[in-house]
Structure 1
């Protein structure tokens, strides 16, 4: 029982029990998808004859590194791709996206973001913000944007207009720091078809961060050409210590590999050091870990809805990523929530997070992330910019029970600061 180890109000615990019971249909759906994806990943390991020899790290140039080659093949099969570029030296999802964009775009090309303004850290990569820093804009790539509708849904008329003449149609699957719905794979398929109607040669690139293994299929199955993600999010299963991937059409993956290493070298170089085992194992665990993160998220959504807050999405909604947003309404609410999440973390639980000017972000950000891997948002974490609508974005939870405890401690932190009330419950 939690009360043996943590000081949590009894009324809050009773409310949490109700929330957990009401979330059970969502939990059952999550488990069914996880079972499908676990079988898919296992088949990829078996088909590609993974052996212990593939876990041995290479050094120097990394010529003939079979572990690196087989890892690419396993990821490609699991994600439904022709090829994949999976490397520990992708430092973040933003880095992997940058490599992909610079890999396929050239001076005079047009990049069309067709799901509105992209995530904050991509703004300086594209050239929406910043001057002379080596952005795509600095290298002569033009940018156009199709904004979402007022309801936060894709505007298909605007999309068809924006992609005329574009080299790349850029889709962000997850909500980022917005309250718009994340895009299901089915919805991405509709967007791809709209792009193809007016520009059949456009490269459809999907920022797949936070979305891997949430559904049974990935965006490549509905016509996307490239998907890109981070290994310290879903696809690394909380085991990969760093890294990212680019997967999709073989010719495009090859172009991206030339940007990561050098033209003519591409995928044939790059030592793996001692990272291969963690990346293989992380992928193997990923569907199960993603399921735990989703259950943690559903519980949080149901609990905070019962506490009177607006939540996005709702617990019973079909999920396509691990991110949830809770509109807490005040800066004090954001800070108290994040400090409570930190108290429930296995690492640095004694630390009290405070807002700060985080690189790549336009406003102050508060982030709670007591993780085994720094910044790993597949582990329970919460962050928010201190600006309207004062919503916190929650992700991760590598085991459901520990994730649930973190959510309860976040609520308890707000309760102790009189930011929520249980009197009506």
Structure 2
């Protein structure tokens, strides 16, 4: 298929399915916590706008949750079907971690979701709020285990290899591997920023249409406050995460920076723009700032950042893809910061709910959180290559022995089915969001 080998098609299919899947948890985790906050505010103030917003967003949450479950199950099956050698080699670690996610998180979410969605008039207010909190807790626990599993693949610890299979030796070291906390914090802040932009865009859309009801103003205002609080924390978390990555996966950072070689004792420049060329091992059309990469990544003006040419070609990731994905993520983060600052200016001018250009900006920013998360995951996953378990198992050795024909049929089938199922789900969510808040339903 298009001159691609079975390995290439397996990687494309997994990238395709995981990219679809990550969108849903990114919204679900933030929305679940948002619903808990809304219900808490309603219980405290008894203001109808909070319960109206809860009823509105709970429907969107339910659709998103359902699509996330379906896409997650399908994605997990690929470990056995397309990556059987990975499962054989590392299943002793990743299998239990994913099992912990199901037993501690998914069962918690699923068990209380029905109460949250349909139990308003069947249980006490306190019990309903408890159910909502349990759903929110479950989504966050799920993120904990998934990030732990993926982080172990990035920085494996707490294991020994027996008969060419990874065997857990210290589960605390496995779970709390060297990159886990940094990646968990970075991802957690990202999903709340994504949710803020998502909710903010919906509120801005209704305000732009002239619907100035308290519910639309409240969701819009809460979203922009959350974005303002989260974005500085994300830049700090990103910096710490970058330092951790430099320590444990220096070639990933070298690819992010497009840094091919160190020259003498010169500090490493920050490359703002370039077209990396893997064949010629250099960048074209570079725009760079001297010594800034050393300052950012080593907090020094004398230390150098490891360069791509320090390892063999076969040990380097896809530099252009990592380089540009990183810049998309950071660039969108800067736009989010600008949006948060403008929100303060609009509040001060008292045009926060009425300035049409401002509202259009927030609507346009709505999907940027999801795009930034996808770009960040491309940096993480592609930057780990050519390893599927860093330093232990190469991607080419982890794939199942399928033919190119089998993988082509599988990939095409996935694309067709995903397009039908998930585009339908997206359209339904958009319909719900356009319909707006029902202010007559109340607590029923």
Q: Which has the higher contact order (CA 8 A, sep 6+)?
A: 2
Larger radius of gyration: 2
More helix by share: 2
Comparing both structures, which one devotes a greater share of its residues to strand?
1
**TM bracket, shorter-chain basis:** under 0.3
TM-score (norm 2): 0.24
Q: Normalization by structure 1: what TM-score?
A: 0.25
